[in-house]
Amino acid sequence: MTGRALAGVRVIELSEVWAGPVGGSLLGDLGADVIKVESFPRFSPTRPIDPNDWRVAPGEGPAYEHSWAQHQGNRNKRNMAINLRHEAGTAAFRRLLERADVVIDSFSAGTMEKLGFDWERMHRDAPRLIRLSLPGWGLSGPYQGYVSFGGGFDCVTGHTAVRGYPWRGVEETSPITHSDATVPLHIVFAVVTALRERERTGEGMLVDLSQVEELATQIPGVLAEWSLNGRLPVRVGNGEQHVVPHQCYRASGEDRWVVLAAEDDAQWGALARAVGHPEWAEDGHPWATVVGRLRDREAVDAALSERAGGQQAEALADRVQDEGGIAAPVAGPQEMLLSPQLNARGWFPTIDHPYTGPRIQAGFLWRFAPDPPSWDLPCGLVGEYNRELLREHGYDDAEIDRLEANGAIGYSYG
Amino acid sequence: MEQPWSGIRVVEIGDGVAVSCAGKQFADFGADVVKVERLGGGEVRRLPPFPGDRPHRDRGGFHLSLNSGKRSLALDVCTPSGREVIGRLASGAQLAFVELPPAAAGAVLDALRRAQAAPSVVVMSPHGLDGPYRDRRENDLSVFAWTTRLHRHRLEGEPPLRYAPHVVAMQVGLTAAAAAAGAVWGQLHDGARRDAEVSAVEALAGNVDTSFVAWSLSGGAPSVPRRSRGTYPVGTYRCKDGYVQLTAGDSPFFERACRAIDRPDFIDDPRFLTKEVRPAHHEEFLAVFQPWLDARTKGEVFRAMQSERVLCTPILDISEALADAQSVARGSYVAVDQPGVGTMTLAGPPFRLGGVEGDRWSAGPAPCLGEHGGEILDGLGYSRDEQQALFRAGVTG
């Protein structure tokens, strides 16, 4: 059985794609009882119905049951599929809310209200319920209700402006979805913080988590440069203004790369020994000092590029690390799977699923003792726990059959 | 003001960005966070930027941002005397964060666990506390390299590229804070002390935004979306005064984008009717779209696109982000008076209890190195003579 830290906390997760679902899984890892209420009959964007969709993994059954995009963010929760535009579906959902501690929604601001779930009524019906809402721009302000995506949060918070190759244009910056990784972590922290607050006041509350504001907390150095010195940081790519070397170098083999860095003289000495030039770190050599390397940045980079070029990335990184320096091969998924460290720690679980069969998954974000996380529930099927959960909430089998017949709940798409 | 984590003491041991970020989550929501730092001040105090580019251990941007509202104790934890102080601190704490080199971490963890009523402990390290890489030194870039993100984020013909500097350590710190919140909640409710261990590589590789799961389940790795002839309009586009990014290659966003640029006729145009025929007509689309963009500011493009519910944002630098109408309306950034520095702007709350008007979050000034040593040691019951002995022996600073 998975963690027990949040045992007894019931969370309803009404969210799609990454940030909300991953937050739900992490709460599940910690032992919360997480109920995922999936959209029905409209299918989630991470459940493609086209078997040729590039996200669909090989497997049996409907395509939407074996999309990696759905599997990645949805362990350790019980799935329901409810039509919230159907009166009976809405009624069932209200019943779920009565027994929940937390409901998480990732709709744009205003959508829950359109479905009949305004906060005042939710709070009146279930005074201890915590609602965590995570619209892109928050629940207030001129952009409330704007549609949003992970790549966009990166743009408006100043992240995009500082990443990218210094020698290429802004136009060539690619969207990334960093917030999809950080928001789930703040969801977990926000849920527990709100539970603490509820213990203090005895009442539930609305938690407004703007994904834009969340991501804005992640680049303190960029904000400080503007606040303290009125300057916009320059784009440094993989480099560091005050650390030489600090780059990604081409290694031998097709498209293989290695990271080499030395933040101080000792690490530089290790690196110099590992590439067969201990004299680079000896007193009197111009590169032996922090300032010398800073002044000679291009030459240091060129020399390391030349030395790395003929070497296998993993072997070079091992040698540098053995000497006490900083180095890592640039791992793609295959190299990550072969990592001696991740394998020694037994990090990769093999998870069986009715439609994909056993597959190697990414491991947990943390180890935890004495109640470690375990993969109790693989990615749920559409409506898999409809009956179990409706029974838990007082419905009898005849009523549940009627809900299905009316299209208020469902088990499949398309 | 009573805050959600008021009454909880957190001991934060280490000098990195990650541990500072972890402790900040609790400090800003009311916990008493005691930051135990090395005598000369460690990484988080040494990272630029500094006001006027003058290095100063109490004035660095990372320190001011991430140590808000904490108390500082400068202590050599590599001595038995230092670890005895840790033990006493731990006895009154509910949670401890540790980010130390493995060689130093073991004895400190033992000291924490020996404490009466020991706190839950969350320890951060690059690779975890066991395994062949446990003693490896890494930094933001080299950790990133292990997680498939660096490999994936790149342009063709260019080296792999990291994200913004230091986001890796920030994410590791947040991961630790999330685990810690669960650990403390659990301990307060069932009495069982928890230990969590966060390996930086695992924290990133196990989260989304890596290509591992896609590769493992379907054999392919997702590429980073960018402008292409195949699917458009997707990616970064120039406009009158800068750039916008949009994702409108698929239905219904393509149709909405056509309406936003006043070309609803494109929706039924045979050249753009299906995803199959569209790639052949990329240039024709751009011939209409780019002049439309050139005539508008990024703010105008943003609003026009959003009025049709197209996924579109302007690309803002940090000065523009601060001045943006939404940030101003919500107070997304806050001013903190930092002694010796003046007014410093920090990112505001990552979430708001009680809605936008909620006031359960606050960011206080960051402490000078060792600023609270005396009061902390007083609180632990050390006499003035004992405190002088510790100081004279170089255990405290």
Across the interface, do B142 and A328 touch by the CB < 8 Å criterion?
Answer: yes
Residues of chain B contacting residue A146, judged by C-beta atoms under 8 Å apart: 306
Whole-number Å distance between alpha carbons of A89 and A203: 26
Residues of chain B contacting residue A246, judged by C-beta atoms under 8 Å apart: 139, 141
Tens digit of each residue's pLDDT (9 = 90 or more) over B321-364? 999 999 999 999 999 999 999 999 999 999 999 988 888 999 99
Residue A358 vs residues A20, A47, A135: alpha-carbon distances, Å: 25, 19, 35
Residues of chain B contacting residue A361, judged by C-beta atoms under 8 Å apart: 213, 216
CB B218 within 8 A of CB A56: yes
Closest-CA residue of A relative to B310 is A147
Q: Give the pLDDT of residue B162.
A: 95
Using CA atoms in the order A214, A219, A222, A228, what is the torsion angle rounded to 10 degrees?
80
Domain boundaries, chain A: 10-218+349-405, 246-332
Among A171, A143, A148, smallest CA distance to B244 is for A171
Angle at B218 between CA B214 and CA B220, to 5 degrees: 65
| Burial (CB count within 10 angstroms: exposed 0-12, middle 13-18, buried 19+), residue A394 | exposed
Among A398, A396, A414, A393, smallest CA distance to A80 is for A393
| Burial (CB count within 10 angstroms: exposed 0-12, middle 13-18, buried 19+), residue B132 | middle
Which of A183, A345, A348 to probe by mutation at the B interface, max B CB count within 10 Å?
Answer: A345
> A246-332 domain in CATH 3.30.1540.10?
yes
Residues of chain A contacting residue B178, judged by C-beta atoms under 8 Å apart: 26, 185-186, 188-189, 365
> Which DSSP string corresponds to B161-219?
---STTHHHHHHHHHHHHHHHHHHHHHHHH----EEEEEHHHHHHTSSS-SHHHHHHHS
Using CA atoms in the order A108, A110, A114, A120, what is the torsion angle rounded to 10 degrees?
130
User: Could you report the average pLDDT of every consecutive run of 10 residues in chain A (414 residues)?
Assistant: 91 94 98 96 91 88 93 96 96 96 90 90 96 94 89 92 89 86 98 97 97 97 97 92 97 96 98 98 98 98 96 97 98 96 98 94 97 96 98 97 97 90
Phi, psi angles (nearest 5°) of residue B106: -55, -50
Across the interface, do A227 and B185 touch by the CB < 8 Å criterion?
Answer: no
Residues of chain A contacting residue B314, judged by C-beta atoms under 8 Å apart: 155-156
Helix (H, G, I), strand (E, B) or coil at A45: coil
Whole-number Å distance between alpha carbons of A328 and A344: 17
Tokens of A46: 């991470």
Separation of CA A167 from chain center:
30
Q: Where are the beta strands (DSSP E) in A140-292?
A: 206-208, 246-250, 257-261
pTM for this model (two decimals): 0.97
Separation of CA A339 from chain center:
21
Whole-number Å distance between alpha carbons of A78 and A98: 17
Q: Give the pLDDT of residue B347.
A: 98
Across the interface, do B185 and A327 touch by the CB < 8 Å criterion?
Answer: no
Across the interface, do A181 and B127 touch by the CB < 8 Å criterion?
Answer: no
Chain A to chain B Cβ contacts (< 8 Å): 496
Whole-number Å distance between alpha carbons of B186 and B192: 7
Tens digit of each residue's pLDDT (9 = 90 or more) over A231-242? 998 889 999 999
Helix (H, G, I), strand (E, B) or coil at B99: strand
Phi, psi angles (nearest 5°) of residue A357: 75, -175
Q: How many residues are recorded in chain A?
A: 414
Across the interface, do B217 and A170 touch by the CB < 8 Å criterion?
Answer: no
Whole-number Å distance between alpha carbons of A260 and A273: 13
Q: Give the pLDDT of residue A120.
A: 94
**Rounded to a whole number, what is the distance in angstroms from the first to the last CA of chain B?**
31
Is the interface score ipTM higher than 0.95?
yes
Residue A239 vs residues A43, A304, B10, B161, B191: alpha-carbon distances, Å: 43, 14, 35, 10, 47
Decide if pLDDT at B225 tops 70.
no
Q: Give the pLDDT of residue B218.
A: 86
Whole-number Å distance between alpha carbons of B60 and B44: 8
Whole-number Å distance between alpha carbons of A166 and A237: 6
Across the interface, do B139 and A325 touch by the CB < 8 Å criterion?
Answer: no
Is residue B102 very low, low, confident or very high in pLDDT (cuts 50, 70, 90)?
Answer: confident
Across the interface, do B62 and A221 touch by the CB < 8 Å criterion?
Answer: yes
Domain A10-218+349-405 is in which class?
Answer: alpha beta
Across the interface, do B216 and A336 touch by the CB < 8 Å criterion?
Answer: no
Tens digit of each residue's pLDDT (9 = 90 or more) over B131-188? 999 999 999 999 999 999 999 898 888 999 999 999 999 999 999 999 999 999 999 9
Whole-number Å distance between alpha carbons of B247 and B138: 35
> Which DSSP string corresponds to A250-285?
E-SSTT-EEEEE-SSHHHHHHHHHHTT-GGGGSTTS
Helix (H, G, I), strand (E, B) or coil at B120: strand
| Burial (CB count within 10 angstroms: exposed 0-12, middle 13-18, buried 19+), residue A353 | buried
Helix (H, G, I), strand (E, B) or coil at A314: helix
> Which DSSP string corresponds to B334-389?
EEEEETTTEEEEEE--SSEETSTT-------PPPPTTTTHHHHHHHTT--HHHHHH
Q: How far is A312 from chain B (nearest CA, A)?
A: 15
Q: Letter for the amino acid at A68?
A: W
SS (H, E, C) A357-379: CCEECCCCCCEEECCCCCCCCCC
- The secondary structure element, H or E, covering residue B23 is helix B17-27
- The secondary structure element, H or E, covering residue B392 is helix B384-392
| Span B191-208, average pLDDT | 96
- The secondary structure element, H or E, covering residue A294 is helix A290-295
Among B365, B372, B366, B368, smallest CA distance to B387 is for B372
Whole-number Å distance between alpha carbons of A367 and B195: 8
Residue A413 vs residues A43, A124, A375, B384: alpha-carbon distances, Å: 7, 34, 26, 73
Across the interface, do A190 and B206 touch by the CB < 8 Å criterion?
Answer: no
Is residue B227 very low, low, confident or very high in pLDDT (cuts 50, 70, 90)?
Answer: low
Q: How far is A402 from chain B (nearest CA, A)?
A: 33
Decide if pLDDT at B224 tops 80.
no
Among B308, B299, B293, B313, smallest CA distance to B260 is for B308
